[in-house]
Homo-oligomer: A and B are copies of this chain.
């Protein structure tokens, strides 16, 4: 039973994706024990998984899976594998390492539309839960994407079989996608992508002000990603109206 159970509303909340930048097993245990029930996905950021021993990665994915969480390697690693012509080996290794999700992105490399759809379909056929990411990691390149292009990319990914589409914001949450250089939401950019509805979108929202703004706009059901490990519990309190910013407002 939850502490202070009588103060909790039974609010259904959206998906939460946490960014794991290289946690050890003690920290993973802490994360699961404290916030595991509210976490749906854990991304092993970019290529961090490739700097660690296989046994360690397997131990981590096993803990996440046992807690009902889908662990997946960062899209950058998939892009490196794709560029090297090693996508099939990448999927096999991901499965052997215990990952149950795959992220398809083109944030760091160029991937044409047909290839992107094929990557999504191959991952689905291999049994993975598939999340895609729309946006570029380089702000100058990202700014070249029009709202229409971003929306079209989201629709194409969902049509190709993606379960969710992430809107890129990187770890810092500034000057990318729907955020300006200060990290504030660009309302026009958000409105354009939101025409598709928030149900299948995951908004990367590493900054608290972004989390608050999106929860107040779309409700506790909004899906949030790139949540820092030590903010996972804080985000859940925002969703449930247990922090000043959302008390009485959700």
Contact = CB atoms under 8 A, between A and B. Distances in A.
B50 A3 contact: yes
A204 interface: no
Interface in A45-101: 45-54, 56-57, 73, 76-77, 79-81, 83-84, 86, 89-90, 93, 97
Interface in A229-250: 230-234, 236-237, 240-245, 247-248
B22 A232 contact: yes
A24 B77 CA distance: 30
B24 A240 contact: no
B50 A8 contact: yes
Interface string A2-44: 1111111000000000000111111101110111001000000
A146 interface: no
B56 A245 contact: no
B2 A242 contact: no
B2 A77 contact: no
Contact of A108 (B89, B208, B244): B244
Contact of A237 (B33, B47, B84, B231): B47
Contacts of A125: none
Nearest to A86: B6
A23 B128 CA distance: 31
A138 interface: yes
Interface of A: 1-8, 21-27, 29-31, 33-35, 38, 45-54, 56-57, 73, 76-77, 79-81, 83-84, 86, 89-90, 93, 97, 107-109, 137-138, 170, 172, 208, 230-234, 236-237, 240-245, 247-248
> Top 6 A-B pairs ranked by shortest CB distance?
A24-B30, A47-B242, A22-B233, A137-B244, A108-B244, A4-B50
